[in-house]
Structure 1
Amino acid sequence: MSLTVHEVRNVIRAATGRFEREFEASFTKEELQAICEALGTSVDEAGRPSTTRMRRQIRAQVGIAESLETADGSTFRKAELQAIADGVGASSEP
Protein backbone atom coordinates (compact mmCIF):
# COMPACT_ATOMS: atom_id res chain seq x y z
CA MET A 1 0.00 0.00 0.00
CA SER A 2 1.41 3.38 -0.95
CA LEU A 3 1.89 6.31 1.37
CA THR A 4 -0.65 9.12 1.54
CA VAL A 5 0.22 12.65 0.39
CA HIS A 6 0.47 13.69 4.04
CA GLU A 7 2.88 10.84 4.79
CA VAL A 8 5.08 11.68 1.79
CA ARG A 9 5.22 15.33 2.91
CA ASN A 10 6.32 14.17 6.35
CA VAL A 11 9.02 11.93 4.82
CA ILE A 12 10.34 15.00 2.98
CA ARG A 13 10.12 17.13 6.14
CA ALA A 14 12.10 14.56 8.13
CA ALA A 15 14.73 14.22 5.38
CA THR A 16 15.29 17.99 5.37
CA GLY A 17 15.54 18.34 9.15
CA ARG A 18 12.05 19.72 9.68
CA PHE A 19 9.42 18.48 12.11
CA GLU A 20 6.74 16.10 10.91
CA ARG A 21 3.21 17.43 11.21
CA GLU A 22 0.40 15.54 12.87
CA PHE A 23 -2.23 17.11 10.65
CA GLU A 24 -2.26 17.50 6.87
CA ALA A 25 -0.68 20.77 5.81
CA SER A 26 1.13 21.98 2.72
CA PHE A 27 4.75 23.09 3.02
CA THR A 28 5.55 26.38 4.76
CA LYS A 29 8.05 28.83 3.31
CA GLU A 30 10.67 27.58 5.75
CA GLU A 31 10.05 23.97 4.69
CA LEU A 32 10.24 24.90 0.99
CA GLN A 33 13.50 26.71 1.68
CA ALA A 34 14.87 23.62 3.47
CA ILE A 35 13.91 21.47 0.45
CA CYS A 36 15.67 23.91 -1.89
CA GLU A 37 18.81 23.74 0.28
CA ALA A 38 18.69 19.91 0.37
CA LEU A 39 18.46 19.88 -3.43
CA GLY A 40 21.36 22.33 -3.75
CA THR A 41 19.11 24.95 -5.33
CA SER A 42 20.09 28.51 -4.53
CA VAL A 43 17.33 30.77 -3.33
CA ASP A 44 18.80 33.94 -4.75
CA GLU A 45 16.27 36.59 -3.74
CA ALA A 46 16.91 39.04 -0.92
CA GLY A 47 15.03 38.02 2.19
CA ARG A 48 12.53 35.25 1.59
CA PRO A 49 11.59 34.24 -1.93
CA SER A 50 7.96 33.60 -2.72
CA THR A 51 6.50 30.14 -2.24
CA THR A 52 5.59 30.08 -5.93
CA ARG A 53 9.19 30.70 -6.97
CA MET A 54 10.54 28.06 -4.60
CA ARG A 55 8.01 25.49 -5.87
CA ARG A 56 9.07 26.28 -9.44
CA GLN A 57 12.75 25.91 -8.51
CA ILE A 58 12.09 22.56 -6.83
CA ARG A 59 10.14 21.25 -9.84
CA ALA A 60 12.95 22.27 -12.19
CA GLN A 61 15.66 20.80 -9.93
CA VAL A 62 14.07 17.33 -9.60
CA GLY A 63 13.14 17.10 -13.28
CA ILE A 64 9.38 17.59 -13.00
CA ALA A 65 9.71 20.63 -15.27
CA GLU A 66 12.24 21.21 -18.03
CA SER A 67 13.19 24.65 -16.73
CA LEU A 68 12.32 27.28 -14.17
CA GLU A 69 10.38 29.19 -16.82
CA THR A 70 8.15 26.21 -17.68
CA ALA A 71 7.64 25.06 -14.07
CA ASP A 72 4.28 25.37 -12.36
CA GLY A 73 4.14 27.29 -9.06
CA SER A 74 1.09 25.58 -7.59
CA THR A 75 1.06 23.13 -4.68
CA PHE A 76 2.63 19.73 -5.28
CA ARG A 77 0.70 16.66 -6.36
CA LYS A 78 1.47 13.17 -5.03
CA ALA A 79 3.65 12.06 -7.95
CA GLU A 80 5.62 15.31 -7.67
CA LEU A 81 6.07 14.79 -3.92
CA GLN A 82 7.45 11.31 -4.59
CA ALA A 83 9.97 12.76 -7.07
CA ILE A 84 10.96 15.40 -4.50
CA ALA A 85 11.37 12.71 -1.81
CA ASP A 86 13.70 10.85 -4.16
CA GLY A 87 15.56 14.10 -4.87
CA VAL A 88 16.25 14.78 -1.18
CA GLY A 89 17.25 11.16 -0.59
CA ALA A 90 14.16 10.10 1.36
CA SER A 91 12.26 6.90 0.76
CA SER A 92 8.63 7.52 -0.20
CA GLU A 93 7.90 3.78 -0.18
CA PRO A 94 6.16 2.21 2.83
Structure 2
Amino acid sequence: MSTTVHELRNEIRLAVGRHERIESTAFTKEALAAICEAVDYRPKSDGRPAKSEMRAGILWTIDELDTDDPAEADRPFRKTELESILAALS
Protein backbone atom coordinates (compact mmCIF):
# COMPACT_ATOMS: atom_id res chain seq x y z
CA MET A 1 0.00 0.00 0.00
CA SER A 2 1.43 3.40 -0.89
CA THR A 3 1.95 6.15 1.63
CA THR A 4 -0.56 9.01 1.52
CA VAL A 5 0.34 12.69 1.34
CA HIS A 6 -1.01 13.10 4.88
CA GLU A 7 1.23 10.29 6.16
CA LEU A 8 4.26 11.77 4.38
CA ARG A 9 3.61 15.20 5.89
CA ASN A 10 3.36 13.67 9.36
CA GLU A 11 6.59 11.70 8.88
CA ILE A 12 8.33 14.93 7.86
CA ARG A 13 6.83 16.78 10.83
CA LEU A 14 8.17 14.13 13.20
CA ALA A 15 11.59 14.16 11.50
CA VAL A 16 11.96 17.88 12.24
CA GLY A 17 10.62 17.74 15.79
CA ARG A 18 7.07 18.89 15.11
CA HIS A 19 3.84 17.18 16.15
CA GLU A 20 1.70 14.95 13.95
CA ARG A 21 -1.61 16.40 12.82
CA ILE A 22 -4.84 14.41 12.87
CA GLU A 23 -6.34 16.28 9.94
CA SER A 24 -4.63 16.45 6.55
CA THR A 25 -3.28 19.98 6.25
CA ALA A 26 -0.41 21.69 4.48
CA PHE A 27 2.61 22.75 6.52
CA THR A 28 2.40 25.80 8.77
CA LYS A 29 5.07 28.49 8.56
CA GLU A 30 6.61 27.09 11.73
CA ALA A 31 6.85 23.59 10.25
CA LEU A 32 8.32 24.96 7.02
CA ALA A 33 10.88 26.92 9.04
CA ALA A 34 11.84 23.71 10.87
CA ILE A 35 12.25 21.89 7.54
CA CYS A 36 14.37 24.78 6.21
CA GLU A 37 16.63 24.45 9.23
CA ALA A 38 16.84 20.67 8.87
CA VAL A 39 17.92 20.89 5.19
CA ASP A 40 20.23 23.84 5.98
CA TYR A 41 18.40 26.46 3.91
CA ARG A 42 18.51 30.07 5.10
CA PRO A 43 15.64 32.18 3.67
CA LYS A 44 16.74 35.45 2.11
CA SER A 45 13.92 37.46 3.69
CA ASP A 46 14.33 38.94 7.12
CA GLY A 47 11.77 38.07 9.75
CA ARG A 48 9.08 35.64 8.65
CA PRO A 49 9.54 34.62 5.02
CA ALA A 50 6.58 33.67 2.85
CA LYS A 51 5.60 30.01 2.64
CA SER A 52 6.43 30.00 -1.08
CA GLU A 53 9.96 31.25 -0.36
CA MET A 54 10.53 28.51 2.20
CA ARG A 55 9.03 25.79 -0.04
CA ALA A 56 11.20 26.89 -2.99
CA GLY A 57 14.29 27.00 -0.79
CA ILE A 58 13.67 23.53 0.58
CA LEU A 59 13.14 22.08 -2.91
CA TRP A 60 16.20 23.91 -4.27
CA THR A 61 18.37 22.67 -1.41
CA ILE A 62 17.40 19.04 -2.03
CA ASP A 63 17.87 19.45 -5.82
CA GLU A 64 14.18 19.28 -6.74
CA LEU A 65 14.21 22.80 -8.25
CA ASP A 66 16.86 24.63 -10.25
CA THR A 67 16.25 27.88 -8.36
CA ASP A 68 14.95 29.08 -5.01
CA ASP A 69 12.55 31.49 -6.73
CA PRO A 70 9.29 31.60 -4.70
CA ALA A 71 7.26 31.77 -7.90
CA GLU A 72 8.34 28.18 -8.55
CA ALA A 73 6.70 26.92 -5.34
CA ASP A 74 3.55 28.97 -4.90
CA ARG A 75 1.54 25.85 -4.01
CA PRO A 76 1.65 23.04 -1.46
CA PHE A 77 4.26 20.31 -1.95
CA ARG A 78 3.38 17.50 -4.36
CA LYS A 79 3.60 13.88 -3.23
CA THR A 80 6.86 13.23 -5.09
CA GLU A 81 8.36 16.35 -3.49
CA LEU A 82 7.28 15.18 -0.04
CA GLU A 83 8.94 11.82 -0.71
CA SER A 84 12.17 13.62 -1.71
CA ILE A 85 12.07 15.84 1.38
CA LEU A 86 11.57 12.83 3.64
CA ALA A 87 14.47 11.03 1.94
CA ALA A 88 16.70 14.09 2.45
CA LEU A 89 15.80 14.16 6.14
CA SER A 90 16.53 10.45 6.65
- Give TM-score scaled by structure 1 length: 0.88
What displacement does 1:46 show?
Answer: 1.7
Tell me if 1:68 matches 2:46. Answer: no
Q: Which residue of 2 aligns with 1:87?
A: 88
Q: Decide which moves more: 54-63 or 10-19.
A: 54-63
Q: Which residue of 1 aligns with 2:20?
A: 20
- Letter of the aligned partner of 2:13 in structure 1? R
- Letter of the aligned partner of 1:78 in structure 2? K
Identical-residue share of aligned pairs (%): 42
More helix by share: 2
- Letter of the aligned partner of 1:10 in structure 2? N
Say whether the 8 Å CA contact 1:57–1:71 is kept in structure 2.
no
Bigger relative contact order (CA 8 A; separation at least 6): 1
| Equivalent-residue separation in structure 1 for 2:22 and 2:73 (angstroms) | 27
Say whether the 8 Å CA contact 1:60–1:71 is kept in structure 2.
no
| Equivalent-residue separation in structure 2 for 1:37 and 1:29 (angstroms) | 12
Q: Which residue of 2 aligns with 1:47?
A: 47
Unaligned runs of 5+ in 1: 90-94
Say whether the 8 Å CA contact 2:53–2:73 is kept in structure 1.
no
What displacement does 1:34 show?
Answer: 0.2
